[in-house]
Amino acid sequence: MGVYLNPGNDSFAEAIHSEIYVDKTGLIAWTNRYLNTEQKYLCVSRPRRFGKSMALRMLAAYYGSGRDSRELFAGRRIENDPSYEEYLNQYDVILLNMQQFLIRAKDQDVTGCLEQSVIRDIRKTYGDLFSEQETILAVVLEQIYAETGKKFIFLIDEWDCVMRERQESEELQKQYLDFLRNLLKDQPYVALAYMTGILPVKKYGQHSALNMFWEYSMTDQGFLEEYTGFTETEVQELCERYGMDFAEAGNWYDGYRFVEFRHIYNPKSVVEAMLRHRFFNYWTTTETYDALKVYMDMDYDGLRQSIVQMLGGTPVRVNTLSFRNDMRNLASRDDVLTLLIHLGYLAYDQEREEAFIPNREIVREFENAMGVGGWPEVMRVLRASEQLLEDTLRCEAERVAEGLDRAHMEVASILTYNDENSLACSISLAYYSARKDYRIIRELPAGKGFADVVFLPLSFGKKPALVVELKYDKSADTAIQQIKDRQYTRALEGYSGEILLVGVNYDKDNRNKPHSCVIEKLGYGM
């Protein structure tokens, strides 16, 4: 067992012996399919603390010939796969954490530091097969393969740390990419290369030369969707085990949406919440909000409006294809939004090509970032939102209309009303504080159409449900009548609590008092 060559299975053993371990060994069945094929180069990018390193430790324990890992995988999902026995502990694994080498090199020769350390480790096992003077890792592996026919599995963690942390050093980036290309591309000794990082690999100018990699990122995870985070079923089982509210867990940590798996949860936060028995911001506390604020404050046309729209619950269209996959060369609103998707601050609906803020935990991080300056008008709306909700629950329609007038005046320079959809966004923003007690659903199928906004209480009995209908240049009474005529309250079928019907109209020609409101109490039971 070595440090980099076949590092053993102790790290994976620690994971499965932890109080919470969620079985993701099904991933191995997929990597087995790609061994020694043209698809053997996999780059998997996800946000920090989304289980990337855990996956590498699992793969190292399974493939590595250093120790027998049969006992660790007993009873796991992979044990039932036909390929399980064929590849268990059958390969030499080289496990590299690029962050470690970047730190140790201290801005010097990162790749030289890596090659020296790894060759020293390999020499313990294969030292008689290559010259003692050899300093190029690719040459060492070529010679071992020529003598033995053995292939290697490369597991590379934090592959993109050079790009993220040495953004200003193009020469270092070029040297690093040349090293990876020479080490991996078209090399006969490669059985599988699995890299993880936050950013995908392509589009680094002429050095998009790692084009042999198949990319799986937060804009398209492909077959890796269920391994990106925790699934709905996995979180439900954890909530039952720890006596935690499943709906509340979803409100806090759900929201990463893919093609097949529409509910993927932040794994770091879910584990913390279960162990601490408290829902809180756990993932975002591992990094300061300054990291988000830097990108939010970039002066690109449409960026501020898009952020306000997403805070109001409206997804925004984004072109993710223009992004060059680095954190320095940002040229547009779409580039910033795409970077925030890769960092985990935004979720992405691949089918609709839309970005949105996934959950309460991330919403609070946006609020923290705005609270330190640069967004005063939005912060005033958010701070006033609690009073607006209280006025609504007390059925004080006139005060609600006045509150909506003030909220509109604050954000008018950023968000312009032009239809009922933009009005809905502004209304959702004005009721921002309701998120702690409600699940806010836009365009909910109900009765003979779609209810504009529904506020569904997270805890039964504490607050009434709200069915909100919005009108533009009509009347609040018309909005209330539409809720009744089209039976929008049927969306709450089975809900036995109190329901309030809220009709809101915006009159663009009435500059002094553009909003009007009518509130009716429906009573209990459906």
Instruction: Please identify, among 216, 246, 267, the residue that sits at the C-terminal boundary of a domain.
Output: 216
Residues 44 and 187 in one domain: yes
The span from the CA of 364 to the CA of 379, in Å, is 12
* 110-126 helix and 170-184 helix, angle to the nearest 10 degrees: 30
CATH code, 101 = 3.40.50
Q: 296 lies in which domain range?
A: 229-374
Q: Are residues 235 and 158 in the same domain?
A: no
Same structural domain for residues 352 and 249?
A: yes
Instruction: Reply yes or no on whether the pLDDT at 286 is more than 60.
Output: no
- Are residues 486 and 513 both part of a single domain? yes
In a domain, 224, yes or no: no
Question: Hey, which of 163-167, 270-274, 505-509 has the most confident mean pLDDT?
Answer: 270-274
**Distance, CA of 89 to CA of 68 (rounded, Å):** 7
The C-alpha atoms of residue 366 and residue 266 are separated, in whole angstroms, by: 17
Dihedral in degrees, nearest 10, Cα atoms 390, 394, 399, 405 = 50
Question: Residue 524 phi/psi, 5° resolution?
Answer: -105, 150
* Whether 405 contacts 513, CB under 8 Å: yes
Give yes or no: residues 363 and 398 share one domain: no
| For residue 308, pLDDT beyond 50 | yes
Whether 526 has a pLDDT exceeding 50, the answer reads no
The pLDDT score that the predictor gives to residue 202 is: 62
Given CA atoms 448, 450, 453, 454 in this order, what sign does their dihedral have?
A: positive
Please give the helix or strand (H or E) that residue 102 lies within, else none: helix 98-105
Q: End of a domain among 162, 193, 216?
A: 216
CATH code where residue 480 lies: 3.40.1350
> Which candidate, 454, 463, 461, places its Cα nearest to that of 436?
463
Dist. CA 186–CA 181, nearest whole Å = 9
Closest by CA position to 94, among listed 154, 136, 145, 42: 154
Residue 22 contacts residue 264 (beta carbons within 8 Å): no
- Gap between the Cα atoms of 398 and 504, Å rounded: 11
189 within 8 A of 141, measured Cβ to Cβ = yes
Residue 461 belongs to a domain = yes
Residues 245 and 199 in one domain: no
Q: How far apart are CA 503 and CA 486, in angstroms?
A: 14
User: Per-residue pLDDT averaged across 101-127, rounded?
Assistant: 90
Please tell me whether residues 70 and 106 are part of one structural domain.
Answer: yes
For residue 24, the number of C-alpha atoms closer than 13 Å in the C-beta half-sphere is 27
Per the structure, the count of domains in the chain is 3
CA atoms within 13 A on the CB side of 38: 1
**What is the pairing mode between strands 515-524 and 354-356?**
unpaired
| CA-atom Rg of the chain in angstroms | 27
Residue 365 inside a domain? The answer is yes
Rounded CA-CA distance 337/321 in Å is 11
Which amino acid belongs to residue 440?
A: I
| Residue-averaged pLDDT of the chain | 91
When pLDDT is cut at 50, 70 and 90, the band that residue 333 belongs to is: very high
Q: Which residue has the higher pLDDT, 444 or 336?
A: 336
Q: What is the pLDDT of residues 367-402, one digit of tens each?
A: 989 988 789 999 999 999 999 999 999 999 999 999
Order of strands across the sheet with 515-524? Answer: 438-446, 449-457, 465-472, 498-506, 515-524
Q: Domain end: 354, 374, 394, which one?
A: 374
Integer Cα distance of 516 and 526 in angstroms:
28
In terms of domains, do 138 and 177 share one?
A: yes
Q: What's the confidence (pLDDT) of residue 124? A: 95
List, for residues 180-235, the tens digit of each pLDDT value: 999 999 999 999 999 999 998 865 555 456 889 999 999 999 999 999 999 999 99
421 and 494 belong to one structural domain: yes
Does residue 5 sit within a domain? no
Query: Is 3 part of a structural domain of the chain?
Result: no
Provide, rounded to the nearest whole percent, the portion of the chain with pLDDT above 90.
71
| Residue at 191 is within a domain | yes
Same domain, 467 and 345: no
In a domain, 499, yes or no: yes
Residue 2 lies in a domain: no
- Measured distance CA(390)–CA(381) in Å, rounded: 15
Is residue 394 located within the same domain as residue 435? yes
Same domain, 352 and 211: no
List alpha helices for 416-503, DSSP H: 420-430, 476-485
Give the pLDDT confidence of 22-60 residue by residue, as tens digits.
Answer: 999 999 999 999 999 999 999 999 999 999 999 999 999
* Token pair in block for residue 50: 């989304």
pLDDT of residue 511: 80
Q: What is the DSSP letter of 76?
A: S
Interatomic CA distance for residues 193 and 164, integer angstroms? 21
Of the candidate ranges 131-140, 352-361, 388-397, 445-454, the one whose mean pLDDT is the lowest: 445-454
Report the Cα–Cα distance between both ends of the chain, in Å, rounded.
Answer: 65
